[in-house]
Structure 1
């Protein structure tokens, strides 16, 4: 049997019917510029075909229970082993997701407490009773949140000098509903024009907290052209309306707004521990489950290892349960601590973890699986790791290979690629300019391939770190003293304004905390304008089990008066549904729809800009509701999506497509790539400016109508940056970016850095958390962290001479 995997006629996405062979039992790196098709080959084709074959072996009735697999669109693959995939994800789950849930350690620890733990009254509980996410285990008062969100007078009425008519009750909705509440109060005799603070306390309490729901006849004030009609209005207190909105609204934005007008306090029943009183009284090894999950994993490993070594032959059911359960916990703890994560605790909230910590937790799950004869398909395993930590991955790959497996990595880190046994390089460019296999062979032979952009960077010399004489002169200084948040304790940070600054350090050192919780929080409280791309869903559930403990404490802040705008750009998706696309997010589609509405044909038909939105009932395809796809339900098979047979993926109703602008329909425009659209809209400055910004940052291969759900985290972050780049006023703006080079080929990194420097040259300040030493070497200033402390700072040349982990890598 051949030791090669042979792929024939792969044509998924932009792959151009490629054929490629690569060896089993080796580390194979798939490389190429962002969007070249390497992930389509490694994940969509190889892993997708492996999934398809596995599904064929599963009983038909069980296939519906397994997530849909991508159609690999390949003629044939020989020699393919079973595959296990680890795809790059920046999201870490909801507010209740923790290290324990990510690693499944929580399940085993709960079982230990339910089978072996003791209760003062001899009570026995099932394992679900030790989970705050189940009805059996969660505190009945706070429903397992650990905190209460309650409306108070100060949270609903932040400015008591205003009258009700002037908007004193800020928690009320706007538009008609808010006016309805004001009109009802006027009918009930409440003085809606007096300052809130001048109203009697009993009146204020009734308006905010009464349980009464009187119905009154309202005669609203309307303009003469409107219908004059009375209606029956039913009163609801401001607090009840707020609670109803927070609990029942299907709109994440509405729910987030409601929670914004509530005060958060620790639950008095469970004291923030989220569990029932009965569960909290159980003890195992003289610790409560709260105390055990709060231990650093390295200490928990030592405790349970000692217990396993001291245990004799079981003589009771409890001892037998312990003998069975401990071996399920210890391998996980061994893997996690072996990957340098012993400092974490099980109760650490997942969304507080760095990208590197998340990636290693997922790798730990693979390491403990003990599989043989499989191919591990890993998407950028180096993401979030400091260069000094990359040796962990090499050890991990060696373990996988020695266990009889193969390792396929989609990777941009050239130091990791250089150590692979084999390279499959895809390109030469992105999108329609890519999709070809330029090279498949031993790593040291890639340098002879002239068309490969990867070859230019593989083995390239390190750039010279910027010295004091080459760095930009600061336009002032932002100084934050006495900052404490998570691992950071009493830190003083200095950021030169008008420069490009990198925050560096090993994963978990506190870089993201410093960027977001310290610098971001200090500036957001002191500048006029803040642009933050936080997901509304996150804002709607803003706190988790350890948020109180990690809330930042800031001392003095000076220099913020020299900043008038803060922009925080993350790798969060630009939209959660296929309705959000590149054109809509950047705002250029508004102008495109204006152009179509301005055509003679649109005017003749009386159509405005709304007609050319695929979200409007009038203009969109009635069968797919403007999505361009329909879901196909298959009996005994996973559901899948297919192109809408009515509009053929164009999203619009046929009559909408009758209108053309410069020979193109609105669907034709959405099908254009950014590169093609630059020529089409060259005469329209508003659209052209947005397109040139996308093109400059290496996104010319994307289509204007490309769904947000199809974009990678790196692409999403660059789209956000491009949206900023098209704006003109950038002076005195601070940009915060967390690992902006994640997911980018070195060639794309060069484009990104050029644009970041352009921002700084225009007067802005750019602060990035970064692991790419090529980027760090070209910055003006570096803040290097280790274990929550600033261990070196200054120009890259100064940090390079500091002897720190980062300095040794520069």
Structure 2
């Protein structure tokens, strides 16, 4: 057995054509080729799957019974395989409790650091507090000058109203003779009268002493007594001089606040010991949103309160009218013309009664007196008390997620937030960008014992932050919710975590780690991959990025085409060797024989603009941006510079609200001008085309409706009276009832991922036997769902309605996907291109804005070329194309660029350059311009 290579013989998984390939071990190897050529089938479905299977087989029979039998990939044999780790693009946990800090385990180390060397401060006054033993307090007191007169006091009442007679009587019974009331020492034999309406401070005089030799043991006894009486607090007061406050606990003597002993759980927002009790550690609350409840352009009389629009009830409208009359507000005027104070009362209620007349359904009129609780309180009560699920869901549409009013989004209790390291709380660290957090910990200077305790913890924190910076994620914060990360970001986080695990002798298999990464950051990512190799691992990367391909030790080019036209090893070797292989499309692009040309001319648009003014969400610095309508505009900039915030959070959400009454709140901005020039917005993102295996490209593009029509018109279907619904796997009648038309049965594995197996009744075909009797050109409806787009295009070439929709799927580079392929198996890039094809097949109005976020994800050079032709087709209809992109071939093909930066996170959010690619290339401080200049 060869120790220096992985030998694969007869790989037949999916479209692989019985290939043999030797992959060098302990090298950085790139597997490339057209989308759908078989790269992932080789890397993930063959090498990784077999590595996993062998690992499971090596476990005990007891462990295997929980994991189930893993299917062997279709391969003759593989030699030289070692444990495999897959780092793919699947986004991280959608759990709202998962953050970048928890996923990378940095937060666990931070919790330990704060528990061991954190300095507690009072959450109320902010003063530093500490715990001291009785001996430590005594040592401090013994530092007083000799002959100093002082007294030991125990605080029993701290700024509380009352006469406190019982407390004073108990102190007297315990044998104490003096107390200090509001700073004045009083004898307990006197009658002490206290005003019950005023706040008082009372301390028991435990002992009076003179500093001299031999006093220490008596002082310790007095201090112990005082600490017991004062619940851990003691005051040492020089007669007519200074006072010193000491605490046996973590407590603030001034505010009377006591903290428990510091422990890691105190700094966990997933533990009741650390989590903010108002938001349960989520950092936000779902609340009724005034902007979703009120329509400021309408009056109270004409639908100004949105949830009541269309309601026939007159009870609350009568109260609202009475409220308007009471505060001299015009009931028929638009809400924007009413006083802000009245709007506030409308939302949050009134203290005083309002009188109104109400006529019930029987026509009886009575005068009512009520205190109006406010719309927000009223709707909250309705959500709590309503027994109707649909009524609750309808009201929840008017709620939005906002930062918790108590912890302000920091997730932790005030006591936990008051513990500091280097003058920063754990939440302050989490809110820094990873780059700034790295700088903070590198600069952090600890002294003496703290340095010894924190040394190993800090070493781990610094290393992990460094790995995240190395993979180009320095702009993220540790507090960032894991569910908001893109596939590329999630993958690079897992990559950084793996580097932290310091494994060797492993096969790492990565799926396009360069996704979402600016060219400026690509160098650091490649160095990270090289580091993984250099410590003794085999790094297999499925990749399209040219720089990554050229830097690898070896390239395996799969092809020559996609789907049935792929599945062969076309070339293997260095970039120079691949470039010489005539059959390799990758080689042609590497040699420069084929390339994506720079457009001869650039459109200037129609003279109309979409203007975003005063954008200041997240890191955007109140910027103004102009997007020329009727052009292909690209928003560029380094990762984290604010591109997605500008386009997705502000512009897209505002347009969605305008055209489709979306309830998603747009990011902070002053206003957007020019919306009147558009009639719709189409968002073509990378979210799945469906959440279940029932959704597929055929159903999403609606081509399946026309295919079912074809089967309905066949002779057998006509004879049996089958209607269109017979050929749907979503309704009873034609589907297999054993699997309810899924074709697969889900087996719940409890604490493991669910396993799906083909339905034994229909053999995975989804339909019952009678439905499958019906054939068109010798094929059943199940056979058609099993066809690739290319096969179906040939099969239905004489049916224009079907051909036109399939052609658009083919044009966007999806010739290889199957019509019935479950949506859950499509990558983000594939799902995005299915959406693009669906829009292409519709008739365009010419006044549409198409928004795409990194459409080149998963695309080979050749596929990028096809995509650009598709986008040009959309633009030629007079539409506006707005794309967020890092791919230089797309950027150089745009009519207009908006470059944000200069850096990511807090150092980004500014407009660095605008104009044609040629104009941006001349701007020195633009990172995008620098790379553009090289290729233009």
Q: Distance in 2 between matches of 1:481 and 1:270?
A: 31
Unaligned runs of 5+ in 1: 173-177, 210-218, 220-236, 533-538, 544-550
1:716 equivalent to 2:834? Answer: no
Q: Distance in 2 between matches of 1:802 and 1:603?
A: 68
Q: Secondary structure at the match of 1:108?
A: helix
Cα–Cα, structure 1 residues 303 and 499, in superposed 2: closer, same or farther, change >3 Å? closer
What does residue range 227-376 of structure 1 map to in structure 2 within 5 Å?
239=380, 242-243=383-384, 258-262=395-399, 266-307=403-444, 310-312=446-448, 314=449, 322-350=454-482, 357-376=489-508
Deviations 1:235-258 (A, max 9, x none): xx965564589x997x9xx98755
Cα–Cα, structure 1 residues 157 and 511, in superposed 2: closer, same or farther, change >3 Å? closer
Cα–Cα, structure 1 residues 338 and 427, in superposed 2: closer, same or farther, change >3 Å? closer
Cα–Cα, structure 1 residues 302 and 770, in superposed 2: closer, same or farther, change >3 Å? closer
1:325 Cα offset (Å): 2.8
1:65 Cα offset (Å): 6.6
- The one of 773, 779, 804 aligned to 1:664: 779
Q: Distance in 2 between matches of 1:732 and 1:92?
A: 38
Which residue is equivalent to 1:104?
A: 105
1:320 Cα offset (Å): 6.8
Deviations 1:242-297 (A, max 9, x none): 4589x997x9xx98755322255543433433223443343444433222322333
Which residue is equivalent to 2:572?
A: 440
Deviations 1:740-759 (A, max 9, x none): 00101111111111010000
How well do the aligned residues superpose, as a CA RMSD in angstroms? 3.8
Which residue is equivalent to 2:805?
A: 690
Which residue is equivalent to 1:3?
A: 4
Which residue is equivalent to 2:744?
A: 629
Given that residues 693 and 723 in structure 1 are in contact (C-alpha distance below 8 angstroms), is that contact kept between their aligned partners in structure 2?
Answer: yes
Unaligned runs of 5+ in 2: 121-249, 252-257, 325-344, 350-360, 362-377, 902-907
1:704 equivalent to 2:826? Answer: no
- The one of 904, 907, 911 aligned to 1:790: 911
- The one of 698, 703, 707 aligned to 1:583: 698
1:401 equivalent to 2:529? Answer: no
Aligned length: 740
1:111 Cα offset (Å): 2.5
1:349 Cα offset (Å): 3.3
Cα–Cα, structure 1 residues 109 and 239, in superposed 2: closer, same or farther, change >3 Å? same
Given that residues 68 and 639 in structure 1 are in contact (C-alpha distance below 8 angstroms), is that contact kept between their aligned partners in structure 2?
Answer: no
1:651 equivalent to 2:766? Answer: yes
Q: Distance in 2 between matches of 1:573 and 1:268?
A: 34
Q: Distance in 2 between matches of 1:557 and 1:764?
A: 18
TM-score, normalised by the number of residues in structure 2? 0.72
Given that residues 472 and 522 in structure 2 are in contact (C-alpha distance below 8 angstroms), is that contact kept between their aligned partners in structure 1?
Answer: no
Q: Distance in 1 between matches of 2:282 and 2:547?
A: 43
Q: Secondary structure at the match of 1:489?
A: coil
1:483 equivalent to 2:615? Answer: yes
1:514 Cα offset (Å): 2.1
Mean CA deviation greater in 482-491 or 140-149: 140-149
Q: Distance in 1 between matches of 2:32 and 2:668?
A: 43
Larger Rg: 2
Cα–Cα, structure 1 residues 756 and 152, in superposed 2: closer, same or farther, change >3 Å? closer
1:358 Cα offset (Å): 4.2
1:805 equivalent to 2:927? Answer: yes
Q: Distance in 1 between matches of 2:651 and 2:494?
A: 29
1:141 equivalent to 2:278? Answer: yes
Which residue is equivalent to 1:390?
A: 522
1:448 Cα offset (Å): 3.0
What does residue range 164-179 of structure 1 map to in structure 2 within 5 Å?
170=307
1:700 Cα offset (Å): 1.9
1:745 equivalent to 2:857? Answer: no
Q: Distance in 2 between matches of 1:384 and 1:473?
A: 28
Q: Distance in 2 between matches of 1:608 and 1:195?
A: 53
1:457 equivalent to 2:457? Answer: no
1:55 equivalent to 2:56? Answer: yes
- The one of 726, 729, 747 aligned to 1:611: 726
Deviations 1:49-83 (A, max 9, x none): 11122222223433467699674332211112322
Q: Distance in 1 between matches of 2:93 and 2:392?
A: 21
Cα–Cα, structure 1 residues 193 and 662, in superposed 2: closer, same or farther, change >3 Å? farther
Q: Distance in 2 between matches of 1:766 and 1:380?
A: 25
Deviations 1:118-163 (A, max 9, x none): 4532403653443333444333332333333345898568699799
- The one of 641, 648, 672 aligned to 1:557: 672
TM-score, normalised by the number of residues in structure 1? 0.82
Given that residues 22 and 440 in structure 1 are in contact (C-alpha distance below 8 angstroms), is that contact kept between their aligned partners in structure 2?
Answer: no
Q: Distance in 1 between matches of 2:859 and 2:823?
A: 18
Mean CA deviation greater in 64-73 or 780-789: 64-73
Q: Distance in 1 between matches of 2:93 and 2:897?
A: 28
Given that residues 597 and 603 in structure 1 are in contact (C-alpha distance below 8 angstroms), is that contact kept between their aligned partners in structure 2?
Answer: yes
Deviations 1:159-202 (A, max 9, x none): 997999x9987489xxxxx9xxx8xxx9xxx658988955999x
Which residue is equivalent to 1:216?
A: none
Cα–Cα, structure 1 residues 114 and 30, in superposed 2: closer, same or farther, change >3 Å? same
Which residue is equivalent to 1:231?
A: none
Which residue is equivalent to 2:641?
A: 509
Given that residues 809 and 834 in structure 2 are in contact (C-alpha distance below 8 angstroms), is that contact kept between their aligned partners in structure 1?
Answer: yes
Given that residues 470 and 528 in structure 2 are in contact (C-alpha distance below 8 angstroms), is that contact kept between their aligned partners in structure 1?
Answer: no
Cα–Cα, structure 1 residues 739 and 481, in superposed 2: closer, same or farther, change >3 Å? same
Which residue is equivalent to 1:233?
A: none
What does residue range 709-788 of structure 1 map to in structure 2 within 5 Å?
709-786=824-901, 787-788=908-909
Name which structure has the greater RCO, CA cutoff 8 Å, separation 6+: 1
Given that residues 161 and 195 in structure 1 are in contact (C-alpha distance below 8 angstroms), is that contact kept between their aligned partners in structure 2?
Answer: no
Q: Secondary structure at the match of 2:22?
A: strand
